[in-house]
Amino acid sequence: MTSVPRAVARPSGRGRAAAALAIGAALLLTTVLLGLAVGSHHEPVGTVIDVVARRLGLGDPHVTLLDDQIVWQLRLPRVLGAAATGAGLAVCGAVLQTLTGNDLADPFLLGISDGAAAGAVTVIVLGVGVSGAVATGAVATAAFAGALLAAVVVLALAGARTRSLPTTRTVLAGIAVGQMCGAYTSFVVMVLGDRDAARGVMEWTLGSVAGVRWPTAVFLIAVALAGVTVLASSARDLDAFAFGETAARSLGVHVDRTRWLLIATAALVTACLVANTGVIGFLGLVVPHVVRLLCGPRHALLLPVSALAGASLLVGSDILARSVLPDREIPVGVITAGLGAPFFAWLLWRQGRTDGRGQ
């Protein structure tokens, strides 16, 4: 008698997982098509499909040079770059929340955003004689170097003498390094910069995918795919971490080594993404919570669905960023914060009500 419910329950669980992944994939495909169609110059979805099909050699539909330029050269790399960035940040956020046991953890917990900002500010404000395409590459390179240096310092401080990464020390080291980088950034902007430099710094720290072209898009996609693959391969270890270090050790997980590998991977992925898009907040914080609420905490499902949801959210936010105002573009970080902050406040209020009832 007991074997029947088990046989029914297993397919049901797999069915729910498949449904969640299918819905996430459909949502991402929809937002990508909208991202290619919507903008200052509207492109019909049929034209978008024709342009992509022609470029992929799936036919020879008639498309104009203007349509090809807008869809393939300008919008597609931007949309794919946004999708890769959103997926990477969301998965990194989910992993860091589990590893640190901190619901407020996000990809920038390790001082990465402040380190990237410090590197970008160094070039934007102090970069004498750097302009044009060279300036764009220099800012991205300096931001990556700053983000990576901040992450290395945090890991070194947190793991000093013990070769482990205690959660509390890791978080405190991230806060300390972030504050130091923030102080440096404020000093350079306020004392050494001018209005144009301050405006450039503010625009960079609010995040944007407007400048993403094919070389950058390919890089972002490669980074996101590699990072998500490495992090998702440790789904079982992350499930064990969710019950605490003691439980993880009892299940055979090498706690210190696994934490080092996953935090270092999340830091490297975030540094690569932030260096090319600027700081895009709230996405890596909110998306994992939403997915846990809908799909549960099992990381084998949580991570891929978070990747799809994060990609869809950032592509959708970018659509709003370039569509809300007819003659200018809003930084995408403003959109993600505007969408994420109210939802997160509601989530905290809902959790508070649940805890109150439990007492």
Largest CA distance in the chain: 79
CA distance linking residue 76 with residue 79, whole number of Å? 5
| Structure confidence at residue 307 (pLDDT) | 98
The token duo for 213 is 């072209």
- Residue 226 pLDDT exceeds 50: yes
Place 12 in a pLDDT band, splitting at 50, 70 and 90: low
What does the pLDDT average to over 138-159? 88
What pLDDT is recorded for position 44? Answer: 92
User: Average of pLDDT values for 201-223?
Assistant: 91
- List, for residues 74-105, the tens digit of each pLDDT value: 999 999 999 999 999 999 999 999 998 888 78
**Mean residue pLDDT across the chain:** 86
Rounded to whole angstroms, how far apart are CA atoms 165 and 167?
6
Amino acid at 285: L
pLDDT tens, position by position, 168-191? 888 889 999 999 999 999 898 888
Higher pLDDT, 180 or 356: 180
At 10 the pLDDT is: 45
State how far Cα 245 lies from the chain centre: 26
- pLDDT of 23: 96
Please give the pLDDT value at position 5.
45
Structure confidence at residue 63 as a pLDDT band (50, 70, 90): confident
**Could you give the percent of the chain with pLDDT greater than 90?**
48
Q: Which position has the higher pLDDT, 97 or 124?
A: 97
Q: pLDDT tens for residues 314-331?
A: 999 999 999 888 778 899
Whether the pLDDT of residue 278 is over 70: the answer is yes
User: Confidence class of residue 134 from pLDDT cuts 50, 70 and 90?
Assistant: low
Length of the chain: 359
Whether residue 129 is predicted with pLDDT greater than 50 in this model: the reply is no
Lowest mean pLDDT among 2-11, 86-95, 284-293, 350-359: 2-11
